[in-house]
Each structure stands twice: as C-alpha cells, then as structure tokens.
Amino acid sequence: MTSCVLVTGATGFVGTALLKRLVAERRFEVRVAVRHGSAECDKRVGRVFVGELSPTTDWQDALAGVTSVAHLAGRVHVIHERATDPLAQFRRVNTFGTVNLARQAAQAGVKRFVFLSSVKVNGERGIYSEAAPSAPLDAYGISKSEAELGLRQLAAETGMDIVIVRSPLVYGPGVKANFQTLMHAVGRGIPLPLGAIHNKRSLVALDNLVDFILTCMQHPAAANETFLVSDGEDLSTTDLIRRLARAMGRPACLIPVPASVLLAGAIMLGRRDMAQRLLASLQVDISKARQLLGWVPPISVDEGLRRAAASL
C-alpha cells in the first residue's frame, strides 16, 4: 500500500524543496494543502484548498486517506509587524492552528505527524541539546513552544506519533531575507565590518533539512521524539562570509572591526537584534539525530553554500 503524505506550506522555501524530494522518491502519494486556487505546485501531486491555517480550518478533505503529515506552514517572522498584538497572531496560526490540524489528523487515522519547529524554542544564544529547557524570547518562539506542548499532549491522548524538528537558520536555493542580503553584499564586493567575529553558529542547508524531515517521516525510532538539526559544522560569521565568497568565486571583502564596537554601534541605531544574529553564538548538538536515527547530513556546508549561491 502506497503511503499518502500531506504537506502543508508546500509552496514555501522548505516546502517546495520537500515536495520535489517526495515526488522524486516515487514511493509516496503526495498531497498538498494550499490557501487559494491560484497557488502553483508540482502537477504530479494532489491539491486541496483549505484556506488559512487557523484554529477553525476544516482539514477533512485534505486528510482523507493520509498516513503521514509534514506540517511546515506557519506564521513566520514579520519584519514590519502591523498586528497590535503579535503574540496573539502567532498563537492563532502556529499554536492553535497547528493543534487543530493535528487533532483532525489523529481523528482521520494519520499515523505520524512531523512538525517543523525552531531552535528559537530553546532561545537565542548558547549551546543547545534536546534536553535544554524551552526559553523562547519572542512571539514566534513562544508560539512554536506552545505548539510543541500541545502536540505532545495530543500524542499522549490519541496515540498518533508526533515528531518535532527544531531548525536553526536555513539556507539554500531561493533563500530570502537576511541571508539573501548577505549573498548580494558578498557578490557585489561590498566591504563588510565582520572580519574579526569569533562566534559559532549552527546553520542547516535546505537539502540537509529536507533529508532529515524525510528521515523523521519514516524512521521507527523517530516516533514521539524531538530533534535538533544542523549541518554538523558550526561557523563564525567571519568564516561564513569567507566560505560564501569562495562558493561565489568572489574575494571576501572583510574589515576586522571588534565585535564590541559593532555591538555598541548597533545598540545606538536600535539594531541590537540584528547584531546578536551576527555576533552572538547559537549552536545545536545533533548527537541525538546521529545516534538514534543514524542520520548524517548528506551535503557539506561548502556544498550547501555553493547551491545557495548558484541560485542567485
């Protein structure tokens, strides 16, 4: 019997790549949930229009015959936030919308529900393993943490397998936001004052994350577990820029400004959060994924950066 997989967020950055991989595997019947009729996706998959991800969304048609769900949809970081109560909006989608989907999935007989969460559940800086306590600092991280709690409770009540995947920053072909801005700066040879940053940050290449999600969908030992995922090699911001420049065939134009000076300037400009992402350390330990699932990142950091750069 062919397994039927429902993917939410299939038109997004991670979802598009996962969909491509699932279709290439040819071992799954693939279905996607989309918000509106104009959404485009691979013609070899089934589409079900469900509207917005919310606490009241009806998933009955989308879940019929489904054996596993890869839940990637959610409200992500909003640069220019307009909501008067951002936390309420994040909870509505990421917490209550997720638990509503999972509850209906259990009722429909789904065997496994894989939830893409975030390292922000643990925090913003430090070295984390799955045993670290949840300590989210922003509305996005809080909503993801609360969704995880709701999913664990649902698993205990219904017996449906839940797998939680916490990801750090994802990069790869089609990446947007800050990573895309950084690539454009490196490609144009813009001098960057980041030549003396000695932090360590975990990243995950898009293809590595997709491979890990697929592993979690199938591996028996993944049931009801939480995993952190990364490339398995942590980089300083300085080293990241150097290796990104090499992947792009460009020189790295780096100016060695002390991190303390950069932080002070960022605080004066009201950009502390941005400075923290560039200057602070945030590392994840993927020993559990390696030992319990036998998972090894299929591509290196350098290959991931090359693939990201090639998409510009």
Q: Any idea which residues carry the catalytic annotation?
A: 140
Q: Taking a C-beta distance cutoff of 8 angstroms, is the pair 121, 145 a contact?
A: yes
Structure tokens at 269: 């400009």
φ/ψ of residue 190, rounded to 5: -70, 125
Structure tokens at 265: 């300037």
Structure tokens at 211: 């491979």
Q: Taking a C-beta distance cutoff of 8 angstroms, is the pair 29, 3 a contact?
A: yes
